[in-house]
Amino acid sequence: MLFPALTGSPDKEALRFGDQSLTYAELATVAGTLARALPRGRVAVWATSTLHTTVAVVAALLAGVPAVPVNPKVGERELQHIVSDSAPELVLAEPGVTLPDALAALPRLDVVLTGTPGELPPEADTETPALIVYTSGTTGPPKGVVLPRRAIATTLDALEDAWQWTADDILVHALPLFHVHGLILGMLGPLRRGGTVHHLGRFSTEGVTNALAAGATMMFGVPTMYHRIAAEVGTDEALAKALSGARLLVSGSAALPVHDHQLITAATGQQVVERYGMTETLMNTSVRADGERKAGSVGVPLGGVDVRLVDEAGATIAGSDGETIGEIQVRGPNLFTGYLNRPDATAAAFDDGWFRTGDMATRDADGYVRIVGRKATDLIKSGGYKIGAGEIENILLEHPGVAEVAVTGEPDADLGERIVAWVVAAGEPPAAEELADHVARLLAPHKRPRVVRFLDALPRNDMGKVLKRALPS
């Protein structure tokens, strides 16, 4: 059973968004009623940061129907791809919101926060696809990652063990609900434990302060959020006090710089715990709540997860010297079943049963993994979002003012990396803002270039391939 608390802890508060909340009994009623109205095929969920999104996803899980969470800021082109690739039978959305054309063309079921108590549907098989989450690759449009119930249950239970996560925990976060971090860890995690989650709607240090001061015990965030906390916590006494009282602060989705770790520890005594995962693998490693906290390390393999480092020749690195770098490959019940409609990409992602993460790391004598980089330069992590350089280049090339383009990520204190577009203009150079809007409108706002640099020509090799490493920095 994915959510035993739905029937086991009726009066306990399960979810809170602003001044709206649901107990487990209320969630069972509204999600159970919606589950009974769902078709058998896939459903799209308009994944705003609301109670409605969580109810919609829980309903789909109760019904055993795969849900496709959609970024409510998604651009036209990306949405067309997601809809045609995942072919949802209908869309679930909160009442009153206007949906973009590609979703408005589907049958719609409004998520209402009322219902009739009744039997919950029988639990689906553990291998049934539960969620399809779209994730960017180096080239081409995002791929749909098919996540079975088994992966969700095992990853959340491994985190229960690593973080001593219990029904008494109240989690606060402000993560978007169309990715693994915010949706699976941040919403389904507390529900599986029978605990409570308080979603802030949007991130602010003030929101975090208030929620922790009101009794939240844990916080999840991406490094950009912790960076903003680190910048304020030295002078904001209320924030420092609230953070000091938390049981566990967890960061993930990208590396949290050691300097930010140190600023937070200096002001609060807290040592932020980092965990490492991926849309395809869910969670692989974590610093344990009861283990040594090593800033800058993503900790040790979670229960049930096999982790190996593989060198360039394809050999597994023996021993743990804390220095030899290899690609992280993982195996375990936390893994996805495949990319939707992409057996070619699924096959290419595995090496003899091990999933190739593309992340490069070392492992020390205590088994702690330290991520040092990424194999592909064409993947950018900005604000914790993974973004493919190729998808942005393709869209920018459609703009009439762009003759040639190369997209790179460069270090950014706030976002980790910022997207830079190197453009050879066709005629009069377009305004940087216009190019950013073009990408935001067709793909998504978080994929827009933050910097546009114009060049007379892109550096290329004899074969005509762009040499991104030769771009001036």
Of these partners, ligand AMP, ligand MCA, none, which one is at the site of residue 208 (CB under 5 to 8 Å by kind)? none
Among the listed residues 85, 169, 359, 391, the single contact to ligand AMP using CB under 6 A: 359
Q: How far apart are CA 458 and CA 68, in angstroms?
A: 38
Q: Facing residues of 301 across strands?
A: 285
Residue 73, interface with ligand MCA (CB under 6 A)? Answer: yes
Smallest CA-to-CA distance from 259 within 409, 416, 380 is with 416
Tell which one of 371, 389, 420, 442 touches ligand AMP (CB under 6 A). 371
Q: 12 and 5 in contact (C-beta within 8 Å)?
A: yes
440 binds, among ligand MCA, ligand AMP, none (CB under 5 to 8 A by kind): ligand MCA
Partner from ligand AMP, ligand MCA, none contacting 255, C-beta within 5 to 8 A by type? ligand AMP
Q: What kind and span of H or E run contains 108? A: strand 108-110
CB 394 → ligand AMP: shortest distance, Å?
Answer: 19
Minimum separation from the CB atom of position 55 to ligand MCA (A)? 20
Sheet with 108-110, side-by-side order of all strands: 108-110, 90-93, 43-46, 67-70, 129-135, 143-148, 338-339
- Euclidean distance between CA atoms 6 and 28, whole angstroms: 6
- According to CB under 6 A, which one of 224, 251, 297, 357 is a site residue for ligand MCA? 224
The sign one gets for the Cα dihedral 94, 95, 99, 105 is positive
User: Please, which residues have CB within 8 angstroms of residue 401's CB and are 6 or more apart in sequence?
Assistant: 425, 426, 427, 428, 429, 430, 434, 435
User: Of 440, 451, 455, 471, which one interacts with ligand MCA (CB under 6 A)?
Assistant: 440
Among 278, 379, 421, 435, binds ligand MCA (CB under 6 A): 278
- Residue 225 has which token pair? 């959020």
CA proximity to 447, closest of 400, 379, 398: 379
Query: What length is written for the chain?
Result: 473
Q: Where in 414-453 is the site for ligand AMP (CB under 6 A)?
A: none
Site string for ligand AMP, 248-287 (x = CB under 6 A): ----xxxx------------------xxxxxx--------
Region label for 232, one of left (φ > 0), alpha (ψ between -120 and 50) or beta (otherwise): alpha
How many residues interact with ligand AMP (rule CB under 6 A)? 19
Name the token pair of 227.
């960076």
Which of ligand AMP, ligand MCA, none does 135 bind, CB closer than 5 to 8 A by kind?
A: ligand AMP
Residue 79: which residues within 8 A CB-CB, separation 6 or more?
Answer: 70, 100, 102, 103
Among 332, 383, 409, 430, binds ligand MCA (CB under 6 A): 383
SS3 state at 364: coil
Q: How far is the CB of 131 from ligand AMP (least distance, A)?
A: 13
Nearer to ligand AMP, 370 or 448 (CB): 370
Q: Does 182 help bind ligand MCA (rule: CB under 6 A)?
A: yes
Per-residue x/- track, 294-313, ligand AMP (CB under 6 A): ----x---------------
Q: How far is the CB of 243 from ligand AMP (least distance, A)?
A: 19
Local structure of residue 460 (DSSP, 8 states):
B
From residue 141 to residue 180, the character string flagging contacts with ligand MCA as x (rule: CB under 6 A) and all else as - is ----------------------------------xx--xx
Q: Quick one: 350 or 453, whose CB is closer to ligand AMP?
A: 350
- Residue 440: Cβ within 10 Å count: 16
Which CB sits closer to ligand AMP, 12 or 374? Answer: 374
DSSP E strand stretches across 375-450: 379-382, 385-388, 402-412, 416-425
Report in angstroms how near the CB of residue 362 gets to ligand MCA at its nearest. 19
Which parts of this chain interact with ligand AMP (CB under 6 A)?
Answer: 135, 180, 252-255, 274-279, 298, 357, 359, 371, 374, 381, 386
Which parts of this chain interact with ligand MCA (CB under 6 A)?
Answer: 73, 175-176, 179-182, 203, 222, 224-225, 252-253, 277-279, 383-385, 436-437, 440, 445-446, 448
